[in-house]
Amino acid sequence: MFGVVPKSIWHKTNPPDENNLCSWAMRCLLIEDGGRLVLIDNGLGNKQDARFFSHYYLHGDDSLSKSIHAAGFSEDDVTDMFLTHLHFDHCGGGVYYDRDKLALTFKNATYWSNEDHWKWATEPNAREKASFLKENILPMRESGQLSFVNPGEKSPFSFLDILYVSGHTEKMMIPRIRISVAFGRTHTPSLYYGI
C-alpha cells in the first residue's frame, strides 16, 4: 500500500488485516453548480473478477451508486466526469458491463482527461502498466464522450482551476475549487463529500 516504504515503518499506524490488506476509503467528490453535476473520480468499480478483488478487498457495502442516490441524484444526472488520473482505483467505476459489453456508467457525461496523461495511460511504462486497465480507459474514447483539457487551456468549469502535476503518475489533474465573490455575495458550488 505504500510502495517502496517498508511495512515495518507503516504497519503500526495502518495495521493490515488477516489477509495482509489495509482498509482504505475511496471517496469521490460530487459538485453541483448551476446546470452541471461534476463527479471527481469514480473509484474502483465492480466489473473485475474475483481474483482481482482478492487483492483489493472492499470493506462494507457502500458503493458509488448508493452514495450518488443518497445525495438525491442518479448516474444519468452527472454531466461531467473529471478524472484526476486513469489508475484503475480512480476511473474503474466509470465503465461497467452491460450484458457482457462494456458501457459508460455516466451516459450523459463528458469524461475529462488531458492528452499527455491519456498517452501515458494508453502506452504505460512497465512500472505502471498494471495500474492502467484498458477496459477502464478505452471505452471512454470509443464512446465519443472523452474530452481533453490541457495545460495552458482555460478550464471548462467556471468553479474549478486545474493544476497539472507529475509524481504519483505523469500529468495528473488536481481540481482546485474556486469560490467567487461578486457584488458582496459569495458563490460556492454545492459539494457532496464521501460520494
Residue 155 has pLDDT above 90, yes or no: yes
Q: Could you tell me where the DSSP H helices lie in the chain?
A: 7-10, 50-53, 64-70, 88-91, 115-122, 134-143
Give the burial string for 76-96 (b: 16+ CB within 10 Å, else e).
ebbbbbbbbbbbbbbbbbbbb
Instruction: Give the pLDDT confidence score for residue 120 in this predicted structure.
Output: 96
Mean pLDDT of 173-185: 76
Instruction: Supply the pTM of this predicted model.
Output: 0.86
Instruction: Give the pLDDT confidence score for residue 166 in this predicted structure.
Output: 94
Q: pLDDT tier at 67 (50, 70, 90 boundaries)?
A: very high
Instruction: Check if the beta carbon of residue 150 is closer than 8 Å to that of residue 112.
Output: no
Residue 149 has pLDDT above 80, yes or no: yes
Residue 138 has pLDDT above 70, yes or no: yes
pLDDT digits (tens, 9 = 90+) for 95-137: 999 998 999 999 999 999 999 999 999 999 998 898 999 999 9
pLDDT digits (tens, 9 = 90+) for 8-32: 998 898 888 887 777 767 789 999 9
Smallest Cα–Cα separation from 125: which of 166, 96, 81?
166
Superfamily (CATH) of domain 26-192: Ribonuclease Z/Hydroxyacylglutathione hydrolase-like (3.60.15.10)
Domain spans of the chain, in order of start: 26-192
Instruction: Check if the beta carbon of residue 39 is closer than 8 Å to that of residue 78.
Output: yes
Mean pLDDT of 33-49: 90
